[in-house]
Structure 1
Amino acid sequence: MNTPITNTPQQQIPIHNTPDDRLNSRPHVNQGRQLRRHHTTRYYIHRVKESLTTRISKLICAVFLSLVFIVGLITFILWLSLRPHRPRFHIHEFSIPSLAQDNGLASAQATYNVTARNANLNIGIYYDTMHITLYYQNQNIGEQPLLFPFYQPPKNSTILYSTLSGTHLVIDEARWASLVAARMRGTVMFRLEVASVIRFKVAGWTSKEHKMHANCNIGVGPDGMLIPSYSIPKCPVYFT
């Protein structure tokens, strides 16, 4: 009679898993590591591409900024060397000789000597018709057109010399009496305005027209001659 064989705990054969077997028995762990390794490779490839793109962008920006700086520097230098300066006007002589006489109205005339200076280094100036106006107490007492358009080269001076008399100098008896009264006080003040239309010339280029006005304050002594201190300052020049 056969007796059935039963396995007791002592008769069971223990099964031990090696570390590799444990890893193999957990496929999700290996899969996770493979995914992490795959993600890391893509990440570094992306970082390399991003780094190259950043470097190229920085290089393009550096080249662009360098070009802008160079162009700006050249423009600034050209502007410094070519920017037009306004003409400079000075009164050198002015006289009303008959002002020293109480009855000098009949022979009244005003002689002036004005210097126009082009102080530019590389820029010439074209002057169209020029107009001279003499004011006393802000009233026009004489005017004269100078009908000779001319070109003034750089670093050049032009003398404007003429006399206001006859129909170009309008002084009535009341105004003459005011002039004599001012002479008795020591100084007679006048204002001489030089007006013209000018254009600047640089090489083969000519600017648009500018209406120019120069106002020269004039102080005349009892002898009817220009007081020396009024020949020192330059006349203010403005454009309209």
Structure 2
Amino acid sequence: MPPYRLPPYHRQSPAVRLVNFLCAVLLTLVLIAGIILFVLWLSLRPHRPRFYLADFSIPSANRQSGLANLPVRFAVGEHNPNQKIGIYYDEIVASVYYGDQLVAKGPVMQPFYQAPKGDTPLLGQLTATGPTPTDPAWGRFSGELAAGNVAMRLLLTSTVQFQVKMWDTKHHRMKVECDFRMNGDGTLQQQDKNSQCALYF
């Protein structure tokens, strides 16, 4: 039986070793660049603002002649969660709905800039146009008002733009939707105070 022999060792040529070294260096650089880009993307990616319904009221909402010409007051808190990104807001328009019926609508905030990690109270006062006793929704509205449990909806619409370092992103159409319930005296129910509103872009 012939003795066992190890297979002969073939040394790589200098050219092959150089190619392997360059490939290893290239892959390492690609990995490092990928990690850096990922970290930059995380730090520069804009986070959406947050909105909270702080208060709402329609004084004398329980009068028999309807809501027409009554003041509609509300307060919404806005928070920018970004650490290094500011937000430009165009004019903010508010709309208040009972079901599908528009109760009040109008501009409530002029264009403004929200600094990073900043908070801005949005204080609105509108004039109600209905429902009135002649509206089809009045019967249901007055019944829910007498029961002290009226489902309402506040919409805020605007156009926003994020400021990332020295450049601005494209404009985004924004809609904030706050669903809440109103007491019989026209005030906001306690459980809906400071509730977070839905945000759509």
- Which of 99, 105, 113 in structure 1 is aligned with 2:61? 99
Change (3 A) 1:117 1:204: same
Describe the SS at the equivalent of 1:229.
helix
The structure with the greater share of residues assigned to strand is 2
**Are residue 142 (structure 1) and residue 128 (structure 2) matched?**
no
Aligned to 1:119: 81
- Closer, same or farther in 2 for the Cα pair 1:88/1:218, shift >3 Å? same
Larger CA Rg, structure 1 vs 2: 1
Indicate conservation of the 8 Å contact 2:88/2:111, yes or no. yes
Equivalent residue runs for 1:59-208 within 5 Å: 59-103=21-65, 105=67, 108-146=70-108, 148-165=110-127, 169-173=129-133, 174=135, 175-208=137-170
For 2:34 and 2:130, the matched residues in 1 are separated by: 55
Q: Tell me how far apart the structure 2 counterparts of residues 67 and 203 of structure 1 sit (CA, whole Å).
A: 26
Query: What is the alpha-carbon distance in structure 1 between the residues aligned to residue 80 and residue 109 of structure 2?
Result: 20
Equivalent pair of 1:109/1:164 in contact (CA under 8 Å) = yes
Deviations 1:162-209 (A, max 9, x none): 21116xx34332344432211223310111111110000022111110
Match of 1:144, as an amino acid? Answer: G
Distance 1:107 1:131 in 2: 19
Specify every segment of 5 or more residues in structure 1 that has no aligned partner in the other structure, as ranges: 1-43
Conserved 8 A contact 2:98-2:153: yes
Q: CA RMSD in A?
A: 2.1
Aligned to 2:192: 230
- 1:147 Cα deviation from its structure 2 partner: 5.6
Counterpart position of 1:51: 13
Following superposition of structure 1 onto structure 2, how do residues 35-50 of structure 1 map, counting pairs within 5 Å? 48=11, 50=12
Aligned to 2:6: none
Greater fraction helix: 1
Output the amino acid matched with 1:196. S
Taking a change above 3 Å as real, the CA distance of residues 69 and 108 of structure 1, as seen in their structure-2 partners, is: same
SS of equivalent residue, structure 2 residue 121:
strand
Task: For residue 231 of structure 1, report the CA deviation from its aligned partner.
Answer: 2.2
**Shift in Å at residue 104 of structure 1?**
5.1
1:219-240 Cα distance to aligned partner (Å, 9 max, x none): 111221101211243111111x
Q: Does 2:147 match 1:220?
A: no
Larger RCO, structure (CA 8 Å, separation 6 or more) = 2
User: What is the count of residue pairs matched by the alignment?
Assistant: 192
